[in-house]
Each structure stands twice: as structure tokens, then as C-alpha cells.
Amino acid sequence: MGAAVTLISLSACGRDGAGAGGEPVAVGCDRVAAPGGDDSGPGTEADPFGSLEALTSSLEPGQTGCLAGSEAFVADEFVIDDPGITITSVPGETAILRGRVYVQREAAGSRLNGVDIDLGGPRNFAVGVQVNAEGFELSEATITDDRDQICVSVGAVDLDFGSGNGSIIADNEILECGTPGSNFDQGIYVNGADEVLVEGNSISGAAARGLQIVGDADRNEVRGNLIYKNGQGIGLGSSHGAVPDDNVIESNVIADSDGGVNVGFNLEVDDPEPVGNVLRDNCLWVSESDTYGGIQPPPGREIPLEQTDNVVVDPQIEDGAVAGECARILYGSP
């Protein structure tokens, strides 16, 4: 790298950014970018880069780049295509990317942590945040949308673009994805990807489903999420004759879906039966009159889920928090 840089102590950097007892670990920012900076400069705190792309391309695997939060970075598309790097916000600030974020397959093992994403950027795309890299982490962000699009998608039908396998989507607040009435605009869309962890997110206001798991998407884990007031809660569906198998949905609160479906299925008549999918220890709620918690079987089939220890209880959601039995499920509290 050559040039000296300013080191900044971060309060958090990804899901392993805390030490014993939850104390923050000091992490150095190897390079810095800020709106109005100079991409031809050294990328220091005093003389930052001006774009995300200049920041990411300056980093080696294992290094951290920080985005300043004085104002939003604005672009049609922000591309992350470097492996093993961390992009986060300057301590004490929250950076905002206003535009689509595209994580290419080359960015395996990288993370975008603590950077908010406003998908109402200069252009509209079918997907706001597209993750094709394996082992990518998107965490601790507020992701908002005022467009007709999926907020976050992991994986692709054409594996030449990258599988997204093993990615982590965690501890985000994902709000108002898509146009009301759309059947396609999801909060999170797992598109044929395997072993994805969707954990600790709050997903609300999606036009279609809060979370959709589609196609040959196997062994994914969905746990500890608050999924409420979406068109539907969680959907499992087929794509090109492939169905999701061996997915675990546990310890979530799934409630108040506009269509009354908290867990549903999108299967064609000749699709194979999904196997090994588990729904356990979740809090489900539609209304007093729905004693099944809004679980809808596919037409003409039994519910293709192993169901254990789920409760149908009003989570009493207020300001994004839940109470009672649902609090035990979601937070582990008594």
C-alpha cells in the first residue's frame, strides 16, 4: 500500500467485532472515503477518497475501509467486487449509500457492516441489494425503499453470476420494500442459495413477502427475526422445477401479514415435494380467529413442514419490540 494512513478505533465491525463480555474491539480503518473526497488521493482521514469503488479497490484482504457519514454517497450502482474486506462507517457516524448495491461473486468473504442503504437512488432496479458472493455479510444496516423492487436478494438462477452460498444477512432493519399490491417485491429473497443465515433482522412493510426462499435453496437458517406487517410473512417456492429443502425457520416472530399468510408455499402442480424443512419455536399471529397462526398449505397438498413448539400468540408489537411469550422466543428473555 505504501502510504501512511490514519487509524480509527471502531465501536463495532461485523458480527465478530466484540470481544469478551461484549466489549468493542478497536479496529483500524486502513482507508477512508467521504462524499466530496478525491479518488486520486491517499484515502486517509484527512484526505479521503470520494467513492466506495476507490475505497474497496485500495484494500487488501483482511483490511477495513470506512465511509464518512456527513452526507450520502449517491450513485446509480455501488459495486463491491474485492474479496475478504470490510466496509463500515467512520466511528460515531452512519454512512448512507443512496442507490443500488451490487456484490459481485469476486467479493467472497467480504462484509458491509453498519452502513445504511437508501434504495431510492437515481435509478430503479428489480433488486436493490444483490449479493452474489459466497460468504458475504450484510449487517447492522437500515435498508429502505420507495421503489418497485426487492430490497435484498441472495443468489442467482444463473450461477455464472455467483451463488451467494454461505452469506449472512443479519441485524438489519429492512423497511417498506416495493409498491403496495406487488406480488414480487420481497424484503429478503433467497434465490437458490444454500447455507445462508438470515438472523436478527426486523423486516416490515414489504409489498409481497418479508422473506422468500425459492428454488434449489437448501440448508438455510432463518432465526431470531421479527417479520411483521408485510404482504405475507415467509414464503417457500419453486423455480424451474426445483424446490427448497432442509431449511430451518426457528425462534422468529411472524405476525400481522396483510394477506393473513405468515408461512406459505408457491408450488406448481408437478413440482416435487419439499423435504426436510422445519418450522419450530416461532411466535405466529394473524388474529384471534386464526388458531393456526397463518400457515397456508400449498393447494392440494399437506403442509411440507416439520412443525414443533410454535405458539400462536399476539406479540404485542410496539415500536419494533415484542412482549410476553413472543419476547422469550425472539430475545431469549423470560
**Which of the residue ranges 9-13, 127-131, 219-223 would you say has the lowest mean pLDDT?**
9-13
Work out the percent of the chain whose per-residue pLDDT is above 70: 91
- pLDDT for 202-212, tens place per residue? 999 999 999 99
- pLDDT for 139-167, tens place per residue? 999 999 988 999 999 998 888 899 999 99
82 band by pLDDT with thresholds 50, 70 and 90: very high
For residue 229, which amino acid is it?
Answer: K
Q: Report yes or no: 85 and 112 within 8 Å, Cβ to Cβ.
A: no
Work out the percent of the chain whose per-residue pLDDT is above 90: 85
**Which of the residue ranges 7-16, 193-202, 209-218 would you say has the lowest mean pLDDT?**
7-16
Phi, psi of 161 (to 5 degrees): -85, -15
Per-residue cell: 230:
408485510
Q: In angstroms, what is the C-alpha Rg of the chain?
A: 20
Distances in whole angstroms, Cα of residue 98 to Cα of each of 119, 251, 279: 6, 32, 36
DSSP assignment of 208-258 equals SEEEEEESS--S-EEES-EEESSSEEEEEE-BTTB---S-EEES-EEE--T
Residue boundaries of the structural domains of the chain: 124-331
Neighbour-count burial for 193-225, b at 16+ CB within 10 Å, e otherwise: bbbbbbbbbbbbbbbbbbbbbbbbbbbbbbbbb
Calpha distance 276→133 (Å, rounded):
26
CATH fit for domain 124-331, picks 1.20.1090.10, 2.60.120.10, 2.160.20.10, 2.60.40.2310: 2.160.20.10
Per-residue cell: 189:
429473497
Q: In the predicted model, what is the mean pLDDT of residues 223-237?
A: 97
- pLDDT for 3-32, tens place per residue? 333 333 333 344 554 433 333 334 589 999
Distances in whole angstroms, Cα of residue 194 to Cα of each of 98, 168, 197, 215: 29, 11, 9, 10
Q: Can you say how many angstroms the Cα of residue 53 is from the centroid of all Cα atoms in its chain?
A: 21
Per-residue cell: 291:
388458531
pLDDT of residue 159: 85
Q: Report yes or no: 277 and 305 within 8 Å, Cβ to Cβ.
A: yes
Phi, psi of 162 (to 5 degrees): 115, 145
The residue that leads in pLDDT, 181 or 97, is 97
Q: In the predicted model, what is the mean pLDDT of residues 127-134?
A: 98
pLDDT of residue 135: 98
Indicate if the pLDDT at residue 195 is higher than 60: yes
Locus of grid cell 424446490:
243
pLDDT of residue 334: 55
Q: In the predicted model, what is the mean pLDDT of residues 294-302?
A: 91
Distances in whole angstroms, Cα of residue 205 to Cα of each of 90, 155, 231: 29, 23, 7
> What is the rounded (10 degree) CA torsion for 267, 273, 276, 279?
40
Locus of grid cell 396483510:
258
316 band by pLDDT with thresholds 50, 70 and 90: very high
Helix (H, G, I), strand (E, B) or coil at 3: coil
Helix (H, G, I), strand (E, B) or coil at 204: strand
Q: In the predicted model, what is the mean pLDDT of residues 37-60?
A: 97
Q: In the predicted model, what is the mean pLDDT of residues 101-123?
A: 97
DSSP assignment of 269-284 equals TTSPPP-S-EEES-EE
Calpha distance 300→279 (Å, rounded):
20
Neighbour-count burial for 144-168, b at 16+ CB within 10 Å, e otherwise: bbebbbbbbbbbbeeeeebbbbbbb
pLDDT of residue 158: 84
Per-residue cell: 217:
435453496
Distances in whole angstroms, Cα of residue 281 to Cα of each of 19, 49, 91, 172, 224: 29, 47, 37, 21, 10
pLDDT of residue 2: 36
The overall average pLDDT reported for the chain is 91
